[in-house]
Chain A
Amino acid sequence: MMNTRSITRLLAAGAVTALTLAGITACDSTPGDSNGDVTLTWWHNGTGEPLKGYWQSVADQFEDDHPGVTVNVEAIQNEELQRTKIPNALRGNNPPDLFQQWGGGELATQVEAGRVLDISADVDEELESLGGSVAGWQVDGKTYGLPFSLGIEGFWYNKALFADAGIETTPTTLDELNEAITKLKDAGITPIAVGAGDKWPAAHYWYNFALKSCSPDTLKAASVSLDFSDPCFKDAGADLETFIASEPFQEGFLATPAQQGAGSSAGLLANGKAGMELMGHWNPGVMGGLTEDGEGLGDDLGWFNFPGIPGSAGDPTAALGGGDGFSCSYKAPPECVELLKYIASVDVQTKFAETGAGLPVAAGAETGVSDPNMQALLEGRNNATYVQLWLDTAYGPTVGGAMNDAIANMFAGQATPEDIVNAMNDAAATL
């Protein structure tokens, strides 16, 4: 049996453990700035090259130009970053100073809670250089972040596979797209890769159909009112249902991730296992990291705009797009704004364009766009009369999440066009 001494010892051991634990948690605070030194943390989603190395070089250069400033750059997987890491960090008391910002409804929620730094007073010059692109990073006329890339969505395709299948020109209408799909299938090639496991890549099909069936005015109004009763939203679902029924996607697409590994949708395209993928302007940057040589498809990669649907109510020159930017959190030191402005500078933007990882936004940085695909994208962006922000970003996490889920359910054959609209309206009702 236990005697008193051993009980005491046991308790002592327990107390020491408890104190150690308490000590560990207590020590977890930010590094001090007693001698004027500042440490900035910077979270971005560029986990693959060339973006990862590029952001590091930007941080290094900024450190050199600003003695006493240390920048800790952390690249975090996109879905984790946007859906888990940033929201949780902003809820807590120790958010990163500079973090990836997709703008729109998400930013509005963060601003409403006072978690994002208002940089309006410091960025007059940048606003001029970036022009209308900044709109997505503004709430009620105030600026809360700056974009570094803005692009539109389209199909990235494998030129070699298209040639093998006998497709001579890229599709410009939905009928032509369906034809191309049939030709690819006949040639034994998986026509389209989609990362429906992550939901949003599947949802983007619905966004595009909505863009083609709804007028820009309807879409603009819905972004504000979050009322989706207009019949055009149901039409989008019906179009999507027909499209899914033609079975254009890879086997097991419901569980395919978008960007992780060679088996992801971007990986399938990058490794010549699929003909095309509907994806944003960042795709070449993602694909590079998913092939053995780090090059992606290289010269075989092509890009074309989402085909139009003849006779639909939507503006045929409207495009779906979005951008990537950065915001400073409410606790960030002034150096954070400096870094943000540096990232938006023409110099950094031009070099960013040269990496081919995305389309720059600063006026004058277009000269860095050398890749023919990026030039096509840039032309598409400049020709678009209306660029609708990604719908999930525009509607914010609550409605956007419900929408993406419902669309993913349609891909699984578990939702009707009505179900999608109902899910969105129901989610809006819980706000």
Chain B
Amino acid sequence: MTTTLTRPDVAGRALARPAAPRRKRNTRKTIEIVAFVAPALLVYVGFVLLPVVLAAYYSVYKWNGLGPLEEFVGFDNYARALGDPVFIGAMSHNLFFVVASLIVQGPIAIGVALLLNRAMKGRSIFRVIIFVPYVLSEVISAVAWRLILQPHGPFDAVFEAVGLGDLRQLWLADLNVVIWTLLAVVSWKYVGFAIILFLAGLQGVPDELTEAAQIDGASWWQVQRYITIPLLGPTIRIWAFLSIIGSLQLFDMVWVMTGGGPANASSTMATYMIQFGFQRSQLGFGSAIAVILFVVSFTFALIYQRFVLSRDTEGALTRGVG
């Protein structure tokens, strides 16, 4: 429950969905399917559904994780969480990351992807360089950034060397600055993923359309504006979905860099859950936070699928085609 980015294999999902039942299906086929699906289904139930249900179950108890589940408290844990200004603060930080990540990463990623899509020398090297932050482990890059950003650390040295010494901040220790620092680091980390997605999406834009527009006298800008970006729409919408879910579940980078501090100025729902649920040995309360986080993400995902992604997935899901 603490991963930053869930990446459902979009293409794989369309493929993996078996053809809808046909009336002529014989028994042997049914057995085959059951036999093959059962293991995966068991793993899915055991490692995904069951934990969700268990968390919901624990969340109505006062429980320190060690003793038996005895003290039923109903929705007290939920009331306590939603009445805690620190948790509301954590939710607002998540919201900040959701909105700011889209605003910051989207334009940068689209711009860089358009640039990298042109024929030029060393293109693949640029692509690799841009993708490197995303490949690095979250914890490793967060530790590195924490060292880089410490007062009088390498980052400050660079800042001073280029004559920006007056703008130096306590990047991770200032209550008003820390969340912007984190936004910058998180954007650095994940913008590469957006760029790769967009680059892949650009491969699906037919050259014929671009050529036709160019013949009609469209400038490079006009081609991008009226042809490429609209056709990139489905990719952008999928990326936005992944980015928002990732921002809602943001954990590792924040946890390693600031632990949600100072004074909860950078806490997210997930760091709040670990801090107040697990470290304080109140697993019932922590489970309630987990359930709230799940409900928020799940509700968002459903709404987004229904209203934004629906036109992209239409037709992609095969129905009874042999």
Contacts of A14 in B (CB 8 A): 16, 36-37, 40
Contacts of B32 in A (CB 8 A): 8, 11
Question: Which of A15-23, A125-133, A147-155 has 4 or more CB atoms under 8 Å from chain B?
Answer: A15-23
Tell me if A430 counts as interface (CB < 8 A to partner B): yes
Tell me if A219 counts as interface (CB < 8 A to partner B): no
Contact of A412 among B19, B29, B175, B283 (CB under 8 A): B175
Contacts of B151 in A (CB 8 A): 250-252, 263
Question: Which of B48-56, B115-123, B255-263 has 4 or more CB atoms under 8 Å from chain A?
Answer: B255-263
Taking A15-B36, A109-B66, A412-B262 as contacts, is the C-beta distance between A430 and B281 under 8 angstroms? no
Closest partner residue, chain A, to B280 (CB atom): A401
Taking A11-B18, A112-B66 as contacts, is the C-beta distance between A254 and B262 under 8 angstroms? yes
Tell me if A409 counts as interface (CB < 8 A to partner B): yes
Tell me if B230 counts as interface (CB < 8 A to partner A): no
Contacts of B19 in A (CB 8 A): 2, 7
Question: Which of A85-93, A229-237, A359-367 has 4 or more CB atoms under 8 Å from chain B?
Answer: A85-93
Chain A interface size, as a band, is 35 or more
Tell me if A110 counts as interface (CB < 8 A to partner B): yes
Tell me if B219 counts as interface (CB < 8 A to partner A): no
B36 touches A12 (CB 8 A): yes
Chain B interface size, as a band, is 35 or more
B259 touches A197 (CB 8 A): yes
Report how far A328 CA is from B40 CA in the complex, Å. Answer: 38
Report how far A174 CA is from B99 CA in the complex, Å. Answer: 49
Closest partner residue, chain B, to A90 (CB atom): B66
Interface residues of B in 233-273 (CB under 8 A from A): 258-259, 261-265
Tell me if A10 counts as interface (CB < 8 A to partner B): yes
Closest partner residue, chain B, to A8 (CB atom): B32
Closest partner residue, chain A, to B260 (CB atom): A405
Tell me if A52 counts as interface (CB < 8 A to partner B): no
Report how far A112 CA is from B68 CA in the complex, Å. Answer: 11
B66 touches A88 (CB 8 A): no
Closest partner residue, chain B, to A397 (CB atom): B281
Contacts of A199 in B (CB 8 A): 261
The interface centre, meaning the residue of B15, B36, B285 with most chain A CB atoms within 10 A of its CB, is B36
A255 touches B39 (CB 8 A): no
The interface centre, meaning the residue of A3, A83, A402 with most chain B CB atoms within 10 A of its CB, is A83
Which residues of B come within 8 Å of A, CB atoms?
15-16, 18-19, 29, 32-33, 35-40, 42-43, 62, 64-67, 80, 146-147, 150-153, 170, 172-175, 178, 258-259, 261-265, 275-276, 278-283, 285, 318, 321-322
Q: A21-B43, A251-B170, A252-B170 are in contact. List 8 more A-B contacts (CB 8 A).
A: A10-B15, A22-B42, A22-B43, A88-B278, A113-B64, A254-B262, A412-B263, A414-B263
